[in-house]
């Protein structure tokens, strides 16, 4: 495999005076300072990477990270401020207008987030758009467009108009339009982001399947990690206009370059979002302290359920304490009248329902037993086991 697209020290500064912006960048000023001083926005900053022939390269980043700008510099919809883009070792920025048009017609096509279909053209005519522009005669272009439509499974809808199709089908037309010109490079700008999740994964799988049939170099822009992992051979992660890490999905997951990259995997910090009541459950054995119900029967319930502790409540569901099978048995076998109060384990303190998860994590780490959760009236809400804490933390990593 060899490099199909090489990006070398690419910069894009938008605004009234890009050169001034570049000069300040060289002096080491950051994006915010440059905007404040000159009104110029740094879109892409010193991006360098290469994309191999035949791979799906996903450029990932939050909105405003420069990923859409960078992909538009590959086919020069946006002119770079500095740096080079080489496609098959030809410098795109040095091409004349006609050479550039030739390159766009022959070698690269593009799929857009909002589909960008022509509403006055049928599916077939839309798919043939690139060929029409390139001056291919009608018979040939319809034949090739038909083939592309068939590849994306829209043969039956060739004569429909875009507004008669669902979003997923419209994007298939967008894909067919890109495939019809048989390009060696396809640029896909958030191509599946506007689709609902089920259709999105379906389209992702289809793209991978198409890729199996005919390998093209695909540059795919996405803000969705799942998508990037699913289809990407390699992923480049952008932050604030810079490319912060390039690697295979495995490399990036196992060795994220910085906190920003890691944040894609962990999303929001759940320990600040959840509180104790959110993860408490009532699966623990509860016993009511009341006359006539013997402690012995409570112990038997614990043995029968192979549980080793019970939460003791009063008649109003108020939390009294926690007993373990051991403390209960010791109290029953001991001298004198057995009382729950004497069987309570001392190291279990109830937590308030509104306690943030971060604090619960600390508490449960230092305590083997499930933590009882009570509300402001002292009523029992439920218990938090260690397993529940771990499950919650793990879910956030999905």
Partner 1 sequence: MATNFRELIEIPIGPWVESGVDWVRDNLAGPLDGFAAGVGFLADGLESLLLVLPDWILAPLIIAFAWWRVGWRFGLFALIAMFLIAAMGLWRETMQTLALVIGASIIALAAGLPLGIAMARRDGVATVIRPVLDFMQTMPPFVYLIPAAIFFGLGKVPGTIATVIFAMPPAVRLTNLGIRQVSQENVEAGLAFGCTSRQLLYKVQIPLAMPSIMAGINQTIMLALSMVVIASMIGAGGLGNTVLTGIQRLDVGLGFEGGLGVVFLAILLDRMTQSFGLRRRRD
- Kindly tell me which residue out of 104, 216, 230, 234 binds partner 1, with binding defined by CB under 8 A: 104
The C-alpha atoms of residue 135 and residue 129 are separated, in whole angstroms, by: 10
The C-alpha atoms of residue 165 and residue 160 are separated, in whole angstroms, by: 8
92 binds partner 1 (CB under 8 A): no
Closer residue to partner 1 (CB): 110 or 384? 110
105 binds partner 1 (CB under 8 A): yes
Which residue has 């029953």 as its token pair? 332
Contact 242, 352 (CB under 8 A): no
Q: What angle do CA 341, 343, 347 make, to 5 degrees?
A: 95
Closer residue to partner 1 (CB): 65 or 75? 75
Q: How far is the CB of 146 from partner 1 (least distance, A)?
A: 18
241 binds partner 1 (CB under 8 A): no
Stretch that binds partner 1, among 113-121, 338-346, 360-368, 372-380 (CB under 8 A): 113-121
383 binds partner 1 (CB under 8 A): no
66 binds partner 1 (CB under 8 A): no
Cα Rg, the chain, nearest whole Å: 31
How many residues of this chain interact with partner 1, rule: CB under 8 A? 28
Q: How far is the CB of 116 from partner 1 (least distance, A)?
A: 4
118 binds partner 1 (CB under 8 A): yes
Stretch that binds partner 1, among 5-13, 108-116, 252-260, 323-331 (CB under 8 A): 108-116
Spell out the alpha helix ranges (H) of the chain. 18-26, 31-38, 67-74, 97-106, 123-127, 129-133, 138-151, 167-180, 197-213, 225-231, 249-254, 259-266, 270-273, 276-279, 295-304, 325-333, 340-343, 357-365, 386-395
Stretch that binds partner 1, among 3-11, 47-55, 126-134, 300-308 (CB under 8 A): 126-134
110 binds partner 1 (CB under 8 A): yes
The C-alpha atoms of residue 166 and residue 285 are separated, in whole angstroms, by: 52
Of 389, 308, 324, nearest in space to 351 by CA:
389
- Kindly tell me which residue out of 102, 269, 300, 326 binds partner 1, with binding defined by CB under 8 A: 102
State whether the Cα torsion 369-373-378-380 is positive or negative: negative
Binders of partner 1 among residues 136 to 195 (CB under 8 A) are 161, 177, 181, 187
- Kindly tell me which residue out of 16, 119, 292, 336 binds partner 1, with binding defined by CB under 8 A: 119
The C-alpha atoms of residue 287 and residue 89 are separated, in whole angstroms, by: 77
Residues, the chain, total?
398
- Kindly tell me which residue out of 45, 72, 141, 200 binds partner 1, with binding defined by CB under 8 A: 72
Closer residue to partner 1 (CB): 170 or 364? 170
- Kindly tell me which residue out of 82, 134, 244, 325 binds partner 1, with binding defined by CB under 8 A: 134
Strand, coil or helix: 255: coil
Catalog residues that contact partner 1 under the rule CB under 8 A.
72, 75, 77, 101-102, 104-106, 108-110, 112-114, 116-120, 129-130, 132-134, 161, 177, 181, 187
């Amino acid at each position: 495999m060899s490099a199909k697209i090489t990006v070398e020290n690419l910069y894009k500064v938008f605004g009234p005076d890009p050169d001034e912006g570049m000069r300040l960048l060289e002096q080491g000023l950051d994006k915010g300072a440059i905007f404040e001083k000159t009104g110029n926005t740094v879109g892409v900053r010193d991006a360098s990477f290469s994309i191999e022939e035949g791979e799906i390269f996903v450029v990932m980043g939050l909105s405003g990270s420069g990923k859409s700008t960078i992909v538009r510099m590959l086919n020069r919809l946006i002119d770079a401020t500095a740096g080079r883009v080489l496609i098959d070792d030809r410098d795109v920025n040095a091409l004349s207008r006609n050479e550039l048009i030739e390159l766009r017609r022959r070698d690269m096509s593009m799929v857009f987030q909002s589909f960008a279909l022509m509403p006055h053209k049928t599916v077939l005519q839309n798919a043939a758009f690139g060929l029409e522009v390139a001056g291919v005669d009608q018979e040939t272009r319809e034949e090739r467009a038909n083939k592309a439509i068939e590849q994306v499974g829209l043969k039956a809808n060739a004569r429909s108009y875009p507004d008669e199709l669902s979003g997923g089908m419209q994007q298939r037309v967008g894909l067919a339009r890109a495939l019809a010109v048989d390009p060696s490079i396809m640029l896909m700008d958030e191509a599946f982001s506007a689709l609902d999740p089920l259709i999105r994964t379906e389209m992702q799988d289809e793209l991978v399947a198409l890729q199996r049939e005919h390998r093209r170099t695909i540059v795919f822009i996405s803000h969705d990690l799942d998508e990037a992992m699913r289809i990407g051979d390699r992923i480049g992660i952008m932050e604030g206009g810079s490319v912060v890490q390039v690697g295979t999905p495995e490399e990036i997951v196992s060795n994220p370059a910085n906190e920003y990259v890691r944040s894609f995997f962990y999303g929001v910090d759940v320990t600040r979002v959840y509180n104790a009541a959110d993860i408490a459950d009532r699966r623990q054995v509860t016993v009511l302290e009341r006359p006539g119900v013997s402690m012995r029967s409570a112990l038997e319930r614990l043995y029968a359920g192979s549980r080793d502790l019970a939460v003791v409540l009063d008649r109003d569901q108020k939390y009294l304490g926690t007993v373990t099978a051991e403390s209960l048995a010791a109290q029953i076998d001991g001298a004198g009248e057995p009382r729950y109060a004497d069987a309570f384990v001392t190291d279990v303190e109830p937590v308030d329902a509104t306690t943030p998860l971060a604090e619960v994590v600390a508490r449960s780490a230092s305590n083997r037993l499930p933590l009882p959760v009570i509300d402001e009236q002292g009523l029992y809400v439920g218990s938090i086991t260690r397993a529940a804490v771990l499950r919650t933390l793990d879910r956030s990593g999905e």
